[in-house]
Amino acid sequence: MFNEILASFETGVTNVSNFLWGGQWNDSQVLPIAPLVLLLLGTGLYFMIRLGFRPLRRLGPAIGAVWAGRKGNGDPSAITPFQALTTALSGQVGTGNIVGVATAITLGGPGAVFWMWITAIFGMALAFAESSLAIKYRERDEYGRLNGGPMYYITNGLGKHWKWLAVLFCIGTIISATATGGMIQANGITQNIMAEMQPFGMNVPTWAIGITLSVLVFIVIIGGIKSIGGVAEKLVPAMAVLYVVTVSYTHLTLPTNREV
């Protein structure tokens, strides 16, 4: 009985996922284009036009403002613009951007890169709109700290009767952070460490790696956004440089298969 319920649940989740991302239901094509693709590209295009292409026109001044404001405005409860940028990047760059790109090229061919560029350009408008709303509807709590995000601009922007949607967003974020943000990342780190240690005859227990990661994450997040921003502004630039250097070195040193 339990196996039947589990199988039915898995089938339902698969159907919903295939419908949202591929327009399929029960392995049958019911829509010519995936609803989420249309929604993401359409919403991004809408915001880009409504904003007068501001994310593109003002990209240079925005970068200058971030760099000039890396010292902050002296507010002890706020992080600097540069820390805000690196904190946002630390949440944006991950398995989806790295593994997802490789998966897209594998499934869709090199042409998938072009559509990822198009999606990224329109995604700039989405990110700009989200950040602007988060700043406009943010609140200061009883400790003097500024809090913002979708749950705040849903409640304060759309009205109190939409608070259920903000609660639903929070629940979804918790699940996503636990599964895709915690489990997958921790598993990837563990697998890489174990693979690198095997040539040296070292077998590191998985529980030891898990405890170490938990302690390191706890040290960072226990200090709040100030601590997270301070760590992100140091790690994210180093991470980006290391990634580019590693990919470039791998591309130049690995043999190329030129057979047609």
Model confidence, pTM: 0.70
Lowest mean pLDDT among 3-12, 161-170, 177-186, 188-197: 177-186
Bridge pairing between strands 28-29 and 146-147: unpaired
Task: Give the whole-angstrom CA distance, residue 182 versus residue 169.
Answer: 18
pLDDT at residue 73 in the model: 59
* CA-based R_g, the chain, Å: 22
Burial of 90 per CB tally in 10 Å (0-12, 13-18, 19+)? middle
In this structure, the chain runs to a length of: 260
**Is it the case that residue 49 has pLDDT exceeding 90?**
yes
| CB-count exposure of residue 215 (10 Å: 0-12, 13-18, 19+) | exposed
pLDDT higher than 70, residue 74: no
Q: Residues 6 or more apart from 158 whose CB is under 8 A from it?
A: 165
pLDDT digits (tens, 9 = 90+) for 98-110: 777 888 888 888 8
* pLDDT at position 260: 39
CA distance 134 to 113: 30
pLDDT at 59: 83
Burial of 44 from C-beta contacts in 10 A (0-12 / 13-18 / 19+): buried
